[in-house]
Each structure stands twice: as C-alpha cells, then as structure tokens.
Amino acid sequence: MSAPENVSDSLERQAPGKPRAWWRKLRRSQERLSLLVPLFAVLLLVAIIAGSYLLLRMEERAREQELVLQESQFLALRLSEQLLTKQDDLQRLVHGMVAPVSGAGFDQAARALLARDGSLYAITWFDARQRVVSTHHTSMLPSALRREAGALWQEGALSDMPQGHWVLTPSNDARSQSASPSVLRLFTPIQVNGQYLGTVLAEYAPHMLLHNVLRGDNLASLAVALVDAQGTHIAGVGAVNGVAGMRWDAQAFPPTQLSLPISPLGDALQLKTTLYRTDRNVTRHALLVLLGLLGTTTTAMLLLNWRLSRRRLQTQRRLREESSFRLAIENSLTTGIRVLDLDGVTTYTNAAFARMVGWSQQEMIGMKAPFPYWPEKDREVLAERFQAELNGRHYPGGLQLRMRRKNGTAFDARVFMTPLRDEHGVQTGWLTTINDITEPNRIRQQLAAAHDRFTLVLESLDASITVAPLGSKELVFANRLYRQWFGAQSDGHLQMLAQAGASRIQESDDNTDEEDALMGLPAEVVTTANTDRAEIYVESLGKWLELRSRYLDWVDGRLAQMLIATDITKRKQAEEQAARQIEKMESVSRLMTMGEMASSVAHELNQPLAAISNYVNGMISRIKADTIERDQLLIPLEKTAHQAVRAGQVIHRIRSFIKRSEFNRELCAPQRLVTEALELANIEIRKRSVRLSLQLQPNLPRLHVDAILIEQVLINLLKNAAEAIDGADLPTARRGIELQVQRDGEDVCFRIIDQGPGMPETVTSQLFDAFFSTKKDGMGIGLNLCRSIIESHQGKLQVRNLYNGPNAIGCEFAFWLPAATKSPSAPAEPPMPILG
Ligand code: ADP
C-alpha cells in the first residue's frame, strides 16, 4: 500500500539546484500554462482569420471605389458632352432663326430637333415680351408643361438669362393633380446686334438624358441617378430600381457611392453612382462561420478540458494526502494487521505486525500456513484452527495464542480474523488483527496476585470488614471474620450501623424526619470525610466492638459505606476495671486523707465538745447551787447548741466527703466548692500553724462538676502545701498559703501558692506518677488522682516552683476548669461518638 508515485515527483527529486527550482516553479504554473497556451493559440488563429477577412474586405472596397470613380467620371463626362451638344444644337437653331427671323424656319428646325433628340420634350419660342410665339413638343411631354401659343412665361425674366442657361426643375409632388415631372430647361436668348428679341426654351426629360448616356452599358451592380444640389432624386437607372433583391446586401454591406457634378450645370445637377454588391459570397461566409464555430468549440473544449484536468489534479492531491494520512495512522498503530487472500496466502501486513514478529513487510508477502511465526510445537493445533477459520468458523472473542518472533523469542497475542469484502459485498480475503498481549497478560497476572494478597490480608485481619452500597441491602464485600460473626448476609452490617446510630442513610425512606449530615453532598466530599468511630455492644456476640466507617466510591461507581469492626471487649473490660479501681482509689484516698487528718479532726471536734461539756457542767453546778435564774440559762444553752451544730457540721462534712457514692455532676458556684473544701482543709492547716489567705474573685461563672471530687483536689493540694511548709519547719513569716480563684478566659483558675521549700527537679518529673512520695508515710497517689479528676472534667493541672533568684521560695499548683457556659452538657465520662 505504498503512496502512488508521481512521475513529476520523481523527476523533481532528480533535478538538482537551480533547474530543480525552475522545474518546481514550472510545475506550479504548469496547470495554468496547459490551459493558456492552447487557448491563446486558438484565439490567435481566430484573430488571424478575422484580420485576413477584414483586409480582403478593405481591398475589395478600395477596388469598388476605384471602379465607381472611373465609371462615374466616364458617365459624367458623357453627360456633359451631351448637354454641350444640346447647347450647340439650340445655338445653331437660334442662329438659323436670326439670319432671316421667321417662324417657319423655327418650326422646321424645332421639329427636326425633336425628331432627332429623344430626350427633348418640347421646344418653345418666346418673344421679347415673354409670350409664346411658337411651341413644339413630343407626346411624352407631361400635360402640366404644355403651353399654348400666346401664353405668357411667368416664371421669371427671360431677358436676363445668359447664353446657354440650364435650369433643373425637380418634379413637384407626384401625387397631386398638377404633377409635373422633373425637367431640365435650356434657355437660349435670341439677340441681334445686341438687341434682345426673345428666348428659345428647350425642355429635356432627365431620365431620357441618362438613358441615352447609359445605353448599352452593363448596369448589373451599378445604380446611376441624377440628383439636384439638395440630393433630390431626378432620374435613375440601374440597380436602384432594377435590383430590388439587393436590399439585404445593401444593409449588410453598405454600397459604395460617389456623386459628381455635371457641367455646365455644376452642383445643380449631379451624377450619383452607387455600386451594389451582387455577389453574396456564400462560400466565404460559410467558411468564416465554420472557422468561428471551430474557434468557439475549441475554446470551449479547452476550458472543459482544463476544468477536468484541474479536478483530476485535485483528486490526485487529495488521494495522495489521504494515502499518506492512512499510512501515518497505519504506522502509528500498535495493532498488527495482516491480509490474506481466500487461499490463506498473505497479501499485506502492516508495519506494527512486522515490528511485532521481526519479519519485514516484504518478507511476509506470500507467506501461508504454517506461518514461521507459529511456534514449532503448536503448529498442528494452530493449523487446524486456522483451517477452521478459513472454512468460516468464527471465534467471537478471538484466539489467544503464543507467537514466535524471528529472533526466536515468544510473545502472547490475541488474533481476530474477519472476512474482507469488496464494495459489492463479495468476500475477497481475510483481515486479521493481532495484538501483543504479553504486557496486559503480565499486568493481569500481577493484578490477580495483588488481589490475592490483598484478600488474604483482609481475610486474616482480626477485624470485620464489610462494604455495602448506600440504599442497598446487598453486601459487596465481607471478610472472613464478618462471615464468622454474622454470616454472609448484610444484617450484621446494618445492625452495627443501626446501633452506632448511623443507619439513617439506609432507613431514610422510612424515617424521613431524620437527615444524614452528608446527604446531598458530592461523592468526593463524602468519601474524603473523616472516618467516624463508635463503640457498641453486640448482644448476639456478647462483644464490645469498635466501629469505624468510611464512605467510598465502589468499583462499580456506586457510593458505598465501609464498616470496620474491631473486637474491643477485652480493652473495654480492662477500661471498666481500671475505672472501678480509680473510683476505689479515690475513695481510699479520701479515707486516707481523713485518716491522716483524724487527730486534727479529733482535735477540731474536741474543742466544741469541751466547750459543750464546760457549758453544761457550769450550768449543772449553777442549777445545783441554785444560783442561776431561768433566763440566765438561755445564753449558755444557745452557746452549747451552737457548739453542737459546729461539731455536727464537721462530722457531716467528713461523712459526705467519704461517702461519695457515684459520679454526679451538678452546677456549682466556685465559692461553694472553696467554702466546703476549706471546712475540712482548714482543720489540717490550722493544726500545722499555717495561715491561709483567700482571694476569691466575685461573679465567677458556675462550673459543671462533681463537687466532692473537686473538693478532694482542693483539700489534697492545700494539705500538701501545709505539709510542705510544716515539714520544712519554716519560720512563722513563711508559714502562709494563698488560695486564688479567678476567671481565666472561658475557664475558672484555682491557684494554691505556698511559701514552702518548693520541690527539687527530680521530684517534679515524677510528681504525678502513682505511688511517688517523698514523705515517710506518704502513699503518693494524691497528685496522680488530682490530675485524672481535673482531666476528666476537661481541665488541666500544672505545677511550678516559685523562685527568688536561684532560691525556691514556694510552689504553685494551679488547675483550670471550663466555665459551665462553655460546655454545660459536656459529658463527664469518655464520650461516645456517634457514627454518620
Ligand atoms: P503524698 O502526699 O502521699 O506524698 P502526693 O501525690 O500528694 O502524695 O504528693 C507527692 C509528693 O509531691 C509529695 O511526697 C511531695 O514530695 C511533693 N509535693 C506535693 N505537694 C508539694 C508542695 N506543695 N511543695 C513541695 N512538695 C510537694
């Protein structure tokens, strides 16, 4: 399928340098030249013929003019001669009359003249008074011109007329009754010795004059006429009358005309000669017409031919472009193409197939089964299949086979064979497409292996993994653990979602009041949303599960939800146990605190009890001695009651501190927490001779806390501070503790600042470790508990030494608790996140 070779192309390739450029330029204008040159030649031929024809015409015309001139001059001369002869005749007649002037002489002479001159109409003698003396005329004289003897000449003075005076009178209107024909008059005066005696008038018929002149001449194409000065026709002979059929010619070819004056009349009488063409020149015209037709036809043919060749060139160019385009596409294909004839012989292969197998395109032409690119061992099977295909068997998915390259290496190929039909639908051979699928096969195998590995990992995971499309109850994926727990159905998946509160998406049809937070969002937003976590207890399994869900675009394009459930029963149990232990520890810690404070409390209670005892004993002795009035009893009794209340309060505070039963959050004012804590802490502080100063900012926000636990923290920190001061045996000036409660942004901050010895670096790093204590009988769980209590209230606890230069001058414990307005419903225990 090589591009059609163009002869001019190959020529062009050979032509080097300048000639090459010239040839290319010529080629470009060739097309135009091929039209213009013949067209120009034809037009030139037509022009030459037309020119020759015109030249001939002009020559002919010149000849005609010459002829007319000669003829006219000859006729005019003859006509003049005639007129002069007539003048002489008249002159002689008059002379004859004069010798003996007599009428008889005149009459005789006149008659003789009339008889001799056929052109003479009449001859009349006027006397000096212009009266007709005698007149003679021929029968041809029109009646209008006849005169009676004695009639007067009324048309002018005859006496003034010179010798031989000619007058031409054209005919008046021929249609009127008094019509008179054209007449030529010759006046000859009669004079004797200078005396005027009259005039002889001779009247001639002009046409007869002309007739006489032309007598015997061939006037086949000539028309001769007499005209007056104004060109009025007087008389005519020849073609003008006789050759009426020449009118057509006269129009097509104008006649050659010439007018000559006739002496002695001069311009008053002119001879007009007209030459008509009598030869129609049919042959010449026909030839001319034929030539014209030939020229026109040739031009038309040339134009037609040019148009056709232009189209052919365009088609060729398009064909060449199309062919190179197809060739380019074919060469860029990665699919091999092979064409076989009906006998299975290779007639064509494309470049891709040649690259694929290693044999060149030319080498493969003519190859037939068994093809060399079939591996040796498969030849029989392949030949069988090939024959089956040639016999019309069709393999819809094509054939996958192994092929051999020329260099001996092998590759996998998929081969499709389809019948090749011509434009009439008749099968002319087979078209085979061959795709090298070694790489796709390798990728497929790798993918399969990767899939196997992936499935193995998912199957062996100790978490249940399921994927279900949204709005559908089918499971598109479930791993081994899920199948063990719930079977192959989606019930377990849905149940877990429902328990986690995330089944809204699935149930949205039934429960339209609830809305999914992700509803209506584009899939990519949903799928990139963070993974949600929840912990649920599944009764049917008796397990605690941690659920994580994620939206994803499933392979089939649907939006799906993936659920990963991990068994956290053991962790949950451990957590519960730890929580219980912490609770126990809190309670133990409180008991211990009370135990430690037992002597102080006893001392504290001792005072009111001693006072009560004193008051009561005093009253008893005074009653016994009867030294007291009834009214005087009131004051000691009231004091006694007051001391009893005080003792009761201490006991009540101790009881409620120790007897905290369950985690119980309530809204508390910080003042209340401080007051209640100080009721117990003060006992210890006072016992250790430490001052406490309290700075409580007014209008503090309320806190949402378990009051007993926060009081426990306060008591613990105050007790530690008092112990640190007491333990260091500091002087009175430094035996002070300051409790500051103030607002800090959204939080309320409690600061316990003591003036004790502070703590060494080694202590700070392990301060919050359980069972770390520097005291002889210390348990070391106080601070550890304090921090977990504060943190479970979303607060924080910090500690730092206070320095004066390099010396520590005290220690500051501070904790922050969020104000209730910030998160009034914040849960005390670890929150339970809700899925969806
Ligand atoms: P205990 O009081 O039973 O020792 P704590 O956890 O309450 O346990 O305290 C741990 C240690 O922190 C104490 O032993 C003490 O060394 C140190 N400590 C606590 N409070 C202070 C303080 N205000 N000044 C100096 N050291 C302190």
Q: Write out pLDDT tens, residues 496-521.
A: 888 887 433 333 344 434 344 445 55
pLDDT for 770 beyond 70: yes
- Bridge-based pairing of strands 736-744 and 691-696 is parallel
Task: Give CA–CA dist 484/627, Å, rounded.
Answer: 93
- For 680-698, write each residue's pLDDT tens digit: 898 889 889 999 999 999 9
Cβ atoms of 234 and 168 closer than 8 Å: yes
Q: 446-473 pLDDT, tens per residue? A: 999 998 998 888 888 889 999 999 888 8
Phi-psi region of 420 (alpha: psi -120 to 50; beta: other; left: phi over 0): beta
Q: Which residue's alpha carbon is at the smallest distance from atom 22 of ligand 1?
A: 721
Q: Using a 6 Å CB cutoff, which residues line ligand 1?
A: 716, 720-721, 724, 754, 756, 759, 763, 767, 772-775, 778-780, 782-783, 811
Which residue did the predictor score with more confidence, 275 or 7?
275
Given a cut of 60, whether residue 830 has pLDDT beyond it is no
Taking all residues of the chain, what is their mean pLDDT, rounded to a whole number? Answer: 82
Burial class (CB in 10 A: 0-12, 13-18, 19+), 123: buried
| Ligand 1 center from residue 167 Cα (angstroms) | 177
Predicted pLDDT of residue 743: 95
Label residue 103 by pLDDT band (50, 70, 90): low
> What average pLDDT does the segment 537-555 reach?
89
Residue 212 confidence (pLDDT): 83
Whether 215 has a pLDDT exceeding 80, the answer reads no
pLDDT over 70 (residue 816): yes
pLDDT at residue 16 greater than cutoff 90: no
**Roughly what angle, to the nearest 10 degrees, separates helices 569-596 and 782-792?**
120
Tokens linked to 462: 């100790």
Is pLDDT at 337 greater than 60 in this prediction?
A: yes
- Please report which confidence band the pLDDT of residue 159 belongs to, taking 50, 70 and 90 as the band edges: confident
Mean pLDDT for 699-712 is: 91
What pLDDT is recorded for position 102? 60
- Report the residue among 720, 769, 787 best suited for mutation to probe ligand 1: largest number of ligand atoms under 8 A from its CB: 720
- Of all residues in the chain, the percent with pLDDT exceeding 90 is 20
| CA-779 nearest atom, ligand 1 | 3
Q: Residue 661: what pLDDT? A: 61
Encoded tokens for 681 = 């802490």
Per-residue model confidence (pLDDT) at position 780:
83
Specify the residue for token string 């003996």.
100
CA 441 to centroid of ligand 1, rounded, Å: 72
Ligand 1 atom closest to 780 (CA): 8
Over range 701-721, report the average pLDDT.
92
Q: Whose CA is nearest to atom 19 of ligand 1?
A: 720
Mean pLDDT for 702-729 is 92
Can you tell me the mean pLDDT for 287-294? 83
pLDDT of 57 above 70: yes
Q: Which segment of 139-143, 156-160, 418-422, 533-537 scores lowest on mean pLDDT?
A: 139-143
Decide if 693 contacts 739 (C-beta within 8 A): yes
**Residue 193 structure tokens:** 């010795």
The ligand 1 atom at the shortest distance from the C-alpha of residue 768 is: 6
Q: Report the phi/psi class of residue 607: left, alpha or beta, with left for phi > 0 and alpha for psi in -120 to 50.
A: alpha
Residue 6, pLDDT above cutoff 50? no
Question: What's the pLDDT at 218?
Answer: 60
137-158 CB burial, b ≥16 within 10 A, e <16: bbeebbeebebeeeeebeeeeb
Residue 781 CA, closest ligand 1 atom number: 6
Whole-number pLDDT of residue 738: 96
Residue 483 CA, chain-centre distance (Å), reads 54
CA distance 419 to 400: 19
Higher-confidence residue: 823 or 314?
A: 314
Residue 277 is predicted with a pLDDT of: 66
Q: For ligand 1, atom 13, which residue shows the shortest CA distance? A: 773
Q: What is the pLDDT of residue 240?
A: 45
Predicted pLDDT of residue 756: 92
Q: Report the percent of the chain where pLDDT is more than 70.
A: 86
301-310, 699-708, 816-825: segment of lowest average pLDDT: 816-825
Identity of the residue numbered 262? I
Cβ proximity of 810 and 754 under 8 Å: yes
For range 751-768, the mean pLDDT: 91
Tokens of residue 312, six digits: 């052919």
What span, in angstroms and rounded, lies between the C-alpha atoms of 336 and 432? 8
Please state the rounded mean pLDDT for residues 225-240.
77
Nearest CA to ligand 1 atom 15: 774
Q: Shortest CA distance to 395 belongs to which of 384, 380, 404?
A: 384
pLDDT of amino acid 254: 66
Mean local confidence (pLDDT), 270-277? 81
Is the pLDDT at 482 greater than 80, yes or no? yes
Range with the poorest average pLDDT among 468-472, 603-607, 705-709, 806-810: 603-607
